[in-house]
Amino acid sequence: MPYDYEKFYNSEDGMNVVLTIDEVIQHYVESHLETAVIDNRLANGAAAIVMDVKTGEILAMTTKPDFNLNQPFTLNNADIKNALNSIADEKEKNEQTSAALQKMWRNKAVSDMYEPGSVFKIFTASAALEENLVRPNDSFVCTGVKKVATHNIHCWKTAGHGVQNFADAIKNSCNPAFMAIGERLGADNFVKYVNGFNLIAPTGVDLPAEASGLFFARQNMGIVEVATTSFGQGFEVTPIQMVSAISAVANGGRYMKPHIVKQLTDSDGKVVKQFEPQFVRQIVSEETAKKMCGYLEQVVSEGSGKNAYVQGYRVAGKTGTSEKRPRNTGKYIASFGGFAPADDPQIAVLVMLDEPTGGAYYGGTIAAPVVGKIMNDVLRYLNVEPRLTPAEMGKEEISIPEVVGKSLQEAKNAIVSAGFNYTVKGNGATVVSQIPQSSVKLQKGATVALYTTEGGETTTVVPNVINMSPAQANTTIVNSGLNMKLSGNITGEGDSVVVKQEPLPGETINHGSVVYVEIRHLDVE
């Protein structure tokens, strides 16, 4: 021993780690992803990331299912806990408990690889534009299938998309069109741009256990591999790789290294080290990136990404659906990657839903709405001003005026002047209550119930409008003496139906109350 007696060392405070995570944005992402897990009955969880496209800062990151960080050794799955408790052999029980904990702790956003599906078409299209291998008016024909070597490779739309130009091919997420574009690119260019967009090597994000992407060796890329690569199948990436690459397109082709640590501070709050944004490389030109922003905005406004629409904001993005291996097992990954505003991108969002079992599994159907809800909350929180299009202005919601305490005639005049209808309940001369209340926003033409007698509220039963078109749902709800408030893309063309409603069918509520319904477009990948 080097000392005759004990030697004591005084403890020293370590440094505090300040993250780039924004608590409010993290809350929005956690909430919407949790709902998506439940609604779509995900068998293998989900991941979501929000990134600042200009700096590479991770503003939110979550994996579901998650666990209580204050109790990391408590398993969150009751079925797994019960199964482990039934194991008699102590050694086997300890081994399986350890494996279950490792799985629970795993950060799906950085450690899990998946086939990106059609979200990868962002990079196929960007590479083709950058290499001058495609022009906006180039024509592509989709019959629903394309033969490559001895393989018949299908489009998600089995009837085909017919004749389409380059922008249409992106909007429609057309596999045969992208296989034709992939042929023009060739294996060398695919390898070049997959490396350029950093979809093979780890991003270097300051988090543990980051996985690498898994891509073909150049010598193993034949015509079939080129074809499947063009629409995002046959290789694997991580969510952090994908959102970083999407951010590069949004950021004028500039790839920024993703990071989650902002500062190190001492016990007095003094900044000891600042982590600045790191520019890595220019992947495509600013001109190419700008064109892609326009094309990807059309995906949301007119194409397969309609369900990511946010009123007042120009959202751009791409849908993705990939079948898990082994094939033909009915297991899919649905994803959507997007950014906004399309003309001056601030944030990128990636949502990945693993093995939905609720019936729908297309990324455009179940992942895009989650991104849309996250975008809506985050853009408003960041004070990005909404800009309504003429079509949106006609559907803009306004606040119902406060008329409680006014004479019945004054109340009628105020309601009509604001653009609403009214119905009177009771024989009094003064309005004692109103439904909906003034805090509610609805489109002009909604009906406000004016009650002139205390306790004179009348009730009705909420009708079932699930699977109805928006028009059918509105007629049904209005005929029941209620008002409808829509969420979802209310301006896009194509088939759309109600997928959620609140209150639930059969509940009894007051006349004039609002039924909140969510619609989704079905003709999307």
CA 256 to CA 496: how far, in whole Å?
Answer: 38
Residues with active-site annotation: 118
Residue 49 vs residues 21, 26, 56, 337, 351: alpha-carbon distances, Å: 10, 9, 11, 10, 7
Residue 121 vs residues 128, 149, 217, 468: alpha-carbon distances, Å: 10, 22, 20, 33
CA dihedral 52, 67, 501, 482 (to 10 degrees): -90
Residue 467 vs residues 464, 495, 503: alpha-carbon distances, Å: 9, 11, 16
CA-based nearest residue to 288, from 338, 248, 328:
248
Task: Answer yes or no: are the C-beta atoms of 381 and 24 closer than 8 Å.
Answer: yes
Question: Tokens 């450690």 sit at which residue?
Answer: 111
Element (H, E) at 130: helix 121-130
Structure tokens at 387: 């800009």
Element (H, E) at 64: strand 58-64
CA-based nearest residue to 293, from 437, 460, 170, 155:
170
Element (H, E) at 255: strand 254-256
Element (H, E) at 297: helix 286-301
CA-based nearest residue to 61, from 212, 280, 261:
261
CA-based nearest residue to 303, from 125, 36, 500:
125
Task: Answer yes or no: are the C-beta atoms of 250 and 290 closer than 8 Å.
Answer: no
Task: Answer yes or no: are the C-beta atoms of 162 and 171 closer than 8 Å.
Answer: no
Task: Answer yes or no: are the C-beta atoms of 511 and 482 closer than 8 Å.
Answer: yes
Structure tokens at 193: 């741009």
Q: Is the C-alpha dihedral spanning 416, 418, 420, 425 positive or negative?
A: negative
Peptide bond between residue 65 and the one before it cis (omega within 30 degrees of 0): yes
CA 40 to chain centre: 14
The type of residue at 459 is T
Structure tokens at 155: 């489009």
Query: In DSSP terms, which residues pair with 520 in a beta bridge?
Result: 497
Residue 67 vs residues 75, 266, 268, 353, 385: alpha-carbon distances, Å: 8, 29, 31, 18, 36
Task: Answer yes or no: are the C-beta atoms of 130 and 285 closer than 8 Å.
Answer: yes
